[in-house]
Amino acid sequence: MYRGLMQLLVGTAMLSCVAARAVGGLILPSPTPTATASTAVNLGNTVGPPGGIACVAAALAAAGTQVTGTVNDIGFDAAFFAVSKCTINPDIGSGTPSDKVVSYSALGPGAERTSILGNLNPIPDGPLYACDITIAAGTPDGPYTVSNLPGHPTEAAMRSPGLPDRRAGSS
């Protein structure tokens, strides 16, 4: 399950994404309470100036489920925003017990797919990745919605016993 809308506020100066990561300045998402616990990839709120970059962070809330990978689609207004890169949380990246990589690709205008893949080692709850979102120079100040588009299960669900591996490049 993918929960919540992320708000991107344009017009407020912010550290660069690299500097924000270095000083812990990313605004990480908080789990959204629900009546029944379920696995979710949550997006955090962020700010950025017109012509600048905002950092959108995603976090896993597994609700006790063992998750080995995630796939989620981020939706945004393509007239004002574009994803320039995504970086995995180094605590779950190569050489860690989770040993994952991040993959991202444009699905079309206003939609970006991000995946955390690798082996079948579990991913702990917490930060997954951060994406740099470029803000067009002429973007008016104000709040904008960046959303988690529904429709894609976690890799763990895709790899349930008896189901074929549907990851790209798998046979």
Residue 138 falls within a domain, yes or no?
A: yes
Burial of 64 (0-12, 13-18, 19+ CB in 10 A): exposed
How far is Cα 76 from Cα 109, in angstroms, rounded to an integer? 9
CA-to-CA distance for 56 and 122, rounded, in angstroms? 23
Of the candidates 7, 132, 137, 131, the residue with the CA atom closest to the CA atom of residue 79: 137
Q: Please indicate, yes or no, if residue 168 is contained in any of the structural domains.
A: no
> Looking at residue 125, what is its pLDDT?
93
Indicate which CATH number applies to the domain containing 31.
2.60.40.680
Tokens of 84: 């320039």
pLDDT score for 81: 93
Comparing CA positions, the residue from 24, 40, 23 lying closest to residue 32 is 40
Residue 48 included in any domain:
yes
- On whether the CB atoms of residues 40 and 1 are closer than 8 A, the answer is yes
Structural domain of 120 = 2-158
What does the pLDDT read at residue 142?
86
In a domain, 29, yes or no: yes
Domain count within the chain: 1
Would you state the structure tokens that stand for residue 33, as one six-digit string? Answer: 């309470």
Token code pair at residue 58: 């995603």
What whole-number distance in Å separates Cα of residue 101 and Cα of residue 90?
Answer: 9
Is 64 domain-assigned?
yes
Return the pLDDT at 37.
60
pLDDT at 161: 36
Digit-by-digit pLDDT tens for the chain (171 residues) are 444 444 556 554 444 454 444 434 444 444 444 444 688 888 888 888 899 999 889 999 988 899 999 999 999 999 999 999 999 999 999 999 999 999 999 999 999 999 999 999 999 999 999 999 999 999 998 888 888 876 544 333 333 333 333 333 333
Predicted pLDDT of residue 11: 53
Within-domain flag for 170: no
In a domain, 163, yes or no: no
**Residue 167 domain flag:** no
